[in-house]
Amino acid sequence: MDVTVSELMASFLDSPLVLWVKTCGPLSASSEDSLSVFMELVDGVFLHKVMTHM
């Protein structure tokens, strides 16, 4: 089973945890493409804001 990085990223972005995090606010101000959403989650700034304000 050969899975590409884009398929893995799409699977991750469709996971329940990511879907829940998206309900806490907009992830990327510039665009909603998969790569920018992924990078916004990976850098941890948005997750830190979610954890400190909830």
Per-residue CA distances from 17 to 12, 21, 22, 23 (Å) = 9, 6, 9, 10
Which amino acid would we find at residue 9? M
pLDDT of residue 54: 67
What percentage of the chain exceeds 70 in pLDDT? Answer: 89
What is the average per-residue pLDDT within 7-32? 85
Which amino acid would we find at residue 20? W
pLDDT of residue 13: 92
Of 1, 5, 9, the C-alpha closest to 38 is 9
Scanning the structure block, which residue is given the tokens 């699977």?
Answer: 11
Is the distance from CB of 40 to CB of 12 less than 8 angstroms?
no
pLDDT band at 25 (very low <50, low <70, confident <90, very high): confident
pTM: predicted TM-score of the whole model, two decimal places: 0.70
